[in-house]
Structure 1
Amino acid sequence: MLNAFSSDIQCSQLGNDGRGHYCDTPGQTQVSGLCSEGYFCTQSAKTSTPNDGNLGDVCPSGHYCPAGSAIPHPCPAGSYSNTSGNVGPETCVPCESGYFCDRRGLASPNGPCEEGFYCAGASASPHPSGMTSGGGPCPVGHFCPQGSHIPQACPAGTFTRYLGQASCSECPEGFYCPVQSSNATICPEGYYCPRRTEFAKQYSCPQGTFSGSLGATDIGTCLPCPPGMFCSRLGLGRPEGFCALGWFCPAGSISDKPVDFLEIPGPTISSNLSRYNRMCPPGTFCPQGSFYPIPCTPGKYCATPELDSESGFCDPGFYCSAGSSLPNPRDGEMGDICPPGHFCIEGSSSPSPCPPGCFF
């Protein structure tokens, strides 16, 4: 027959199954029951809800105590609990995003995630080693300051080419960096890229210029379109083509038939601009690719504007100086009628004296 137990130690020995029990009456032959949930009972507790700290107590923060707990169960790493009297593991809260909980039994997170890393939630380390659902090193093209819960994309004009960066590097001159760049990309032809350039065509060479260089850094690398050629569009890597027949293109022309506006005195803005086109005037001709009007060849004439070659030879009985616009000039500058004592065959550039024994 089982004897009655009167001592606390003997009561504790009755419930020798690894769980927390209590004995509320001396001389019991069996334990009174299991320790209540939210409490733990050690040695010989006299109540299911001890709170003296010697024979048991309320389950402390950072732990949980199901019914029959002999010791508190710690919340696992990656979680914490800031309340006491917890009854099950579901009361352990996953570590907040941006923070880490690196050991068991925490009442609060240890602190913020380290810079260069992100802690997505339930992280057990300030620097998660692998990219998992709990976090990891900041990926390339991103930056992670201290306390990051997600990687942040590098803004346009910056980049990161390595893992685990807390900040993004400035895009260097001669390169451009779109959002989330893991490297700087060389500036294309026809454009220039100062520091922090955000996209390839952000800074274009203006009309009338071009740049055939990769990695240009400033507008000074945009060269004027060569004489005899034109550059009508922004961002050209080479001139578009030659000046049109009958026209001439000085350096920096933006059309194959360029027209300039010259400022002249006038009462209003609309009246003080005058069109000045680069069409070859009478008395000159312009083959394709001309950069200045070529005076008509002596002995020939150029009758109309926009010519790409001479109109023809000077009339017989007349002579034509360089730049003549008529086949029979009479002004003495572009030519004139053949003077007495001279003769002028077709295409004469100057009068020829009559030979001895002849006269006209």
Structure 2
Amino acid sequence: MAPVAEGYGGRCPSGHYCENGTIVPSACPAGTHRDLQGGRRREDCAFCPAGWFQDQMGQTECKPCPARFYCPPTLQEAGGVITPLPCPRGYFCPGDAPQDSPVPCPRGTFSSSEGLSRAEECSVCPVGHFCGSDGLTRPSGRCAPGFLCHARAVVPNPTDNTTGSLCPPGAFCQEGVLAGECSPGFYCSGGSTSQEAVLCPAGFYCPRGSHTPFAFPLSSRNTDAPPRGNKPRGLPVVSHW
């Protein structure tokens, strides 16, 4: 027979438990609930499951965890969730995920802030950096020399021409960004890491920003000047007739 609370003149009410000899029903503690009457002891109050919480005593049901927070499963010794926890950095909490587990920010993004509710709130991996795994709180690192990293790069050496590419011909790249043009007297064919990537060979000229050597034109009697600027480094000395 279920215990009777004398003050209530009937069965122990839901949201409470009534131990033998009790006069006043005991409220189920915060973090628990009981939706049936006739509770006999504290253990008859059920812990709030993952994704739910209860911040009040004597309740018949738990409350769903709101967006931007999560309510993790707890050990029985610790009791149920009383106060939702802020969604951790590197994750977002939409409030409708299975069992309210935080969802990691996807590759190509990160989050250094708590309390996100949507993937769109994760920060885009910035230019010159890559974000190579889920759930990052900061970018994985700088991109490799000789490569350009645009937004949302997921590897240090992207070649998809969307998140990044090889350093373009005629230029050199450091730490995932364009660092400048190739120096006069040198050429940069693509993926270069230095402004003096390859020395212009004899018989050719290389203006600033060259991606390939240009043949040095010779007349039968004299030497024509290069089309642009002064004679760059790396040119041979040509004798006149």
Give the TM-score, by structure 1 length. 0.52
Residue 278 of structure 1 is matched in structure 2 by: 165
Question: Is 1:300 matched with 2:186?
Answer: yes
Q: Answer yes or no: is the 8 Å Cα contact 2:217–2:224 preserved in 1.
A: no
Which structure has the higher relative contact order (CA within 8 Å, separation 6+)? 2
Q: For 1:148 and 1:278, how far apart are their aligned partners in 2?
A: 69
2:6 aligned residue (73, 82, 102): 102
Residue 139 of structure 1 is matched in structure 2 by: 29
Residue 205 of structure 2 is matched in structure 1 by: 319
- Superposed CA deviations along residues 38-91 of structure 1, whole A, max 9, x for unmatched, are xxxxxxxxxxxxxxxxxxxxxxxxxxxxxxxxxxxxxxxxxxxxxxxxxxxxxx
1:154 aligned residue (26, 39, 48): 48
Q: Name the aligned partner's letter for residue 4 of structure 2.
A: F
Q: Identity rate of aligned residues, in percent?
A: 35
Q: For 1:322 and 1:346, how far apart are their aligned partners in 2?
A: 9
Q: Name the aligned partner's letter for residue 12 of structure 2.
A: C
The within-5 A match list for 1:7-18 is: none
Q: Answer yes or no: is the 8 Å Cα contact 2:184–2:208 preserved in 1.
A: yes
Q: For 2:131 and 2:6, how far apart are their aligned partners in 1?
A: 65
Give the TM-score, by structure 2 length. 0.75
Does the C-alpha gap of structure 1 residues 280 and 112 become closer, same or farther in structure 2, counting only changes over 3 Å?
A: same
Q: Answer yes or no: is the 8 Å Cα contact 2:5–2:18 preserved in 1.
A: no
Aligned length: 221
Question: Is 1:250 matched with 2:136?
Answer: no
- Quote the offset at 1:324 in angstroms: 2.6
- Quote the offset at 1:146 in angstroms: 3.7
Does the C-alpha gap of structure 1 residues 341 and 257 become closer, same or farther in structure 2, counting only changes over 3 Å?
A: closer
Unaligned stretches of 5+ residues in structure 1? 1-94, 104-108, 129-135, 263-275, 331-335, 350-358
Q: Secondary structure at the residue paired with 2:103?
A: coil
- Quote the offset at 1:243 in angstroms: 0.4
The within-5 A match list for 1:229-244 is: 229-244=129-144
Q: Secondary structure at the residue paired with 2:149?
A: coil
Q: Answer yes or no: is the 8 Å Cα contact 1:176–1:196 preserved in 2.
A: no
Residue 342 of structure 1 is matched in structure 2 by: 225
The within-5 A match list for 1:108-147 is: 111-119=10-18, 122=20, 124-125=22-23, 127-128=24-25, 136-147=26-37
- Quote the offset at 1:185 in angstroms: 0.5
Unaligned stretches of 5+ residues in structure 2? 74-79
